[in-house]
Structure 1
Amino acid sequence: MGQENKNQTWVSEFILLGLSRDWGIQVSLFVLILAMYLVTIVGNALMLLLIRLDSRLHTPMYFFLSVLSFVDLCYANSIAPQMLAHLLSAPKSIPFPSCVFQLYTSLALGGSEFFLLGAMAYDRYVAVCCPLHYTVLMHKGLCLGLAAGCLVAGFMNSLMETIITFRLPLCHNVINHFACETLAVLRLACVDISFNKVMVAISGFLVIMIPCSLVLFSYVRIVTAILHIRSTQGRSKAFGTCASHLTVVCMCFGATIFTYLGPQSASSVEEEKMVALFYAVVAPMLNPLIYSLRNKEVMAALQKVLEKFRKRITGKMGI
């Protein structure tokens, strides 16, 4: 115990090793991540705008999608700006309070997204299996309650995991990651972290498996209902309402399961970075693209907005 106290140091800031120490690679990553970040901001903001402006999109499905877009916007802003700044700077330092805040917000928003995907699966289940009662079952109060519950669950889980992570005495301040991530910070501890890793694993398991179970239940019922539809056109339409959501579910759940519940190995630290980069930068960018490009209603709303914009511009120019 005395040796542990002797080696323990007070940490006022952390140094992030980032993705690479090669300057050329860092510049290339900066350009690539900046482009993806801008697409994320524009894509999710545009999705929110379209849902707000087009009355045809004022349905439970698009309400949940708007909440998902808002969460993706916040999630991208919790990590990407700091990552971009660090790619062109040295040393890559982050103050202790900022590190705590980044870990808390990123965990909270990531957890909220998983719960939202579960709520969206339930919405698709009601739409396909109970179409005649859809508007009655998925009323405004239930939608608001589900969305609020998803956010509360995500933020409460993050609070617990953040406390578990930063209550430990730290021996050094160099984080082998591009952001303040739970497992990367735990590796700095002066004491045995077996219990903390178990608690983090349980936390991650619950955040993943609770919504994942709801998704599986919903899609088993959805597939069963679709198989009972006689017409090919009816089956195609029913599946089309779920395809985008199912694509996002597989992408998000798959990446996180690989990171937190997969087998640990010597190369797991670098693998964690790559998966975390995918989830922090790529996933928030792909979500609005998947939902817009595969959705005729969203594309129609986009065309409507662009047409109004074109008329205003031509009107002002007197054309």
Structure 2
Amino acid sequence: MKRENHIVVTEFIFQGFFSFHEHKLTLFVVFLTLYLLTLASNVIIVTIIGIDRHLHTPMYFFLSMLSTSETVYTLVIVPRMLSSLIGLSQPISLAGCATQMFLFITLAINNCFLLTAMGYDRYVAICNPLRYTVIMNRRVCTQLVWGACSIGLLVAIIQISSVFRLPFCDREVAHYFCDIRPVMKLSCADTTLHDIMNFIISSLVIVVPMGLVFISYILIISTILKIASAEGRKKAFATCASHLTVVIVHYGCASIAYLKPKSENMRDQDQLISVTYTVFTPLLNPVVYTLRNKEVKDALHRAIGKKPLA
């Protein structure tokens, strides 16, 4: 039943991690540590790719764009979340909430399609190696990045226009940032159509890029299995391992968060899922590409004046 008492809501208050009140200090320390590691590691990745000519390839161009997007993505959400854990959080205006939601949606979708572009890059590199430099030229790479960003902007505009036309009769958001579902729950109006539209859009921006990556890897694996030498197969798999790891975690978390049926009794679980894709996943990208990628490790060694790994 929707509430009938209509009031003029001009700001929202985040309830944050209300159920974990006794552990707020511990959560603050853990999240702050992860946040600082995320910022530092993504800045290092972008810097290394920018200054090392060995990494001036389409694959690392996409990686630097993804790291930049992830950095801004965390800046939009995590600082306010941290301030709420130590009691410094202030109410957020409707305009501020709309801005946060707009940036969050834009960057989240941008990341999804950047991972798809990276999957296409790996497909061309392995399945069409002789034409790789022709197909993945600078113009194509730039168009793919702008395409990912444009899709994110378009979807964000549609979503924001839909959500903030609703009348609100409560101002306490049962979350730690302005996500779509928690904000729509505060509406006095029937949100059934909005929920259906939100589910359709979420399905498209998750399932479509995920499906394209899946098709790419079917073709990649098929090509790799035809390579005669075991060493060649191992090297080909190695070039895809980092990207595939990030893809599985990224799309897995997004699917659980936005494609599962909504429930009124799973607030704590929903928050834990949200923490996964707003705090942990942005750190996964640089960690995986640094620890599992020999070229990036060699570039790091060159940057600090050490001999590259053999």
TM-score (norm 1): 0.92
Any idea what the Cα deviations from partners look like across 1:230-257, whole Å, max 9, x if unmatched?
A: 1111111111111111101100100111
Q: Secondary structure at the match of 2:178?
A: coil
Structure 1 residue 119: Cα displacement: 0.7
Superposition RMSD in Å: 1.5
Partner residue, 2:187: 189
Aligned to 2:9: 11
Conserved in 1, the CA contact under 8 Å of 2:19 and 2:268?
no
Whether the aligned pair in 1 keeps the contact of 2:73 and 2:107 (CA below 8 Å) is yes
Partner in structure 1 of residue 58 of structure 2:
60
2:100 aligns to what? 102
- Cα deviation, 1:51-110, whole Å, max 9, x if unaligned, reads 001000000000000000000000000001111111111665222211111111011100
Distance, in Å, in 2 between the alignment partners of 1:287 and 1:167 is 36
Task: Kindly name which structure, 1 or 2, has the bigger radius of gyration based on alpha carbons.
Answer: 1
- Residues 108-127 of structure 1: pairs in structure 2 closer than 5 A: 108-127=106-125
CA distance, structure 2, for counterparts of residue 188 and residue 179 of structure 1: 14
User: What residue number does 2:198 align with?
Assistant: 200
Percent sequence identity over aligned pairs: 40
Aligned to 2:227: 229
Q: Decide whether aligned partners of structure 1 residues 9 and 283 sit closer, same or farther in structure 2, where only a CA change above 3 A counts.
A: same
C-alpha distance in 1 between matches for 2:270 and 2:72 = 21
- In structure 2, C-alpha distance between the alignment counterparts of 1:94 and 1:244, rounded to whole Å: 38
Distance in 1 (CA, whole Å) between partners of 2:20 and 2:239 is 45
CA deviation after TM superposition for structure 1 residue 23, in Å = 4.7
Q: Distance in 2 between matches of 1:22 and 1:114?
A: 30
- Counterpart-to-counterpart distance in 2, 1:147 and 1:272: 30
Cα distance change on mapping 1:71 and 1:132 into 2, 3 Å: same
> Which one of 147, 164, 169 corresponds to residue 166 of structure 1?
164
CA contact (8 A) 2:101 2:179 kept: yes
Counterpart residue identity of residue 33, structure 1: F
Query: How many residues are aligned here?
Result: 305
Is the 8 Å Cα contact of residues 83 and 89 (structure 2) preserved in structure 1? no
Deviation at 1:123, TM superposition (A): 0.4
CA distance in 2, matches of 1:208, 1:272: 18
Cα distance in 2 between the residues matched to 1:220 and 1:237: 17
- Deviation digits for residues 149-187 of structure 1, max 9, x if unmatched? 000101111111111111100111011001111000010
Cα distance in 1 between the residues matched to 2:166 and 2:73? 26
Summarize the Cα distance change of 1:21–1:92 in structure 2 as closer, same or farther, 3 Å threshold.
farther
CA distance in 2, matches of 1:137, 1:191: 50
Q: Secondary structure at the match of 2:35?
A: helix
Match for 1:89 among 87, 90, 96? 87
Measured in 1, the distance between the counterparts of 2:19 and 2:94 equals 23
- Does residue 44 in structure 1 map to residue 42 in structure 2? yes
Give ranges in structure 2 of 5+ residues lacking alignment: none
Question: Match of 1:253?
Answer: 251
Gap runs ≥5 in structure 1: 309-319
Displacement of 1:270 in angstroms is 2.2
